[in-house]
Structure 1
Amino acid sequence: MSQTSSGEPSTGELISRLSTDLSTLVRDELRLATVEMSGKAKKAGMGAGMFGAAGVLALYGGGVLLAAIVAALDLAMPLWLAALIVAVVLFIAAGIAALMGKNKVSEVGSPMPEKTVESVKADVDAVKHARDH
């Protein structure tokens, strides 16, 4: 170590230490962030899997509920008519949902990022004009 006459490290030595300490600090922080993010990603993956399981169970529950509705209607009418009524109601609900979805999609318009395309065209024109002049 080079030190000044007062026994303290020189400016060059201090800058060298600072550089070393800073790179060590950055590496340690990156390691910590990696460990933290991998733990969070594992928890998020487990949570997403549980949401998927909940969706499947809800789907089965919906099927059982529909079967119960058919069985309840079977008390007042023939089984085939009860099943037909439930199926028609489901198809009507599906049609309404499809029309609402179609309307929402048509509101979006073109999938192209139109403002970005216009901005890029303007940038290209500006560069061309700047080059020509």
Structure 2
Amino acid sequence: MAHVTSAHHTNGNGAGLPRVPSIPLSDETNGAAGEQSIGNLVKDASTHLSTLIRAEVELARSEVTKEIKKGLTGSIYFVIALVLGLLLLPFLLTTAALGINKGLWDWADPWGGFLVITLLMAVLAGFFAWRGARKVRSVRAPQRTIETVKDTAAALRHRGENGATAPVPASGDAVRRV
């Protein structure tokens, strides 16, 4: 039976990903594949398929986890903007009330300070809303997982090609397509 190794990406865009099981390109423990029994070959194939599925699930989990963290950070910025916006409302109402009360003739008396605070709160709320929108827009689909699942599906669909002939069953009902 073939030895199952573990791949770990440490360079480029795979940095920080957890170790996932991988299928070796060649049989490291036994001789030629012709010397193995059909039972061992089936056992190896099921082991490799199981390892491949586990690796795909682990890759999807790690990519989705990373994207969820980015989305959560963006939503925290939105919460901060909402809180500052709610804190802005009393200042805005107080400023409007004092401004209307005083009129334009005494216009810098007490409500000028309230206006400065109101504008400062508005700028802060706008800043955090902008940061939150940037963070949420940066959330992407797990592209590597999608590509590897497509590659795996294509490889399984075309497994009889490349010069190897697959046995043809007597009836079409005996074969279940993957």
Task: Give the TM-score range, shorter chain.
Answer: 0.3 to 0.5
Calculate the TM-score normalised by the size of structure 1.
0.47
Calculate the TM-score normalised by the size of structure 2.
0.36
Higher relative contact order (CA 8 A, sep 6+): 2
Q: Which has the larger radius of gyration?
A: 1
Structure with greater helix percent:
1
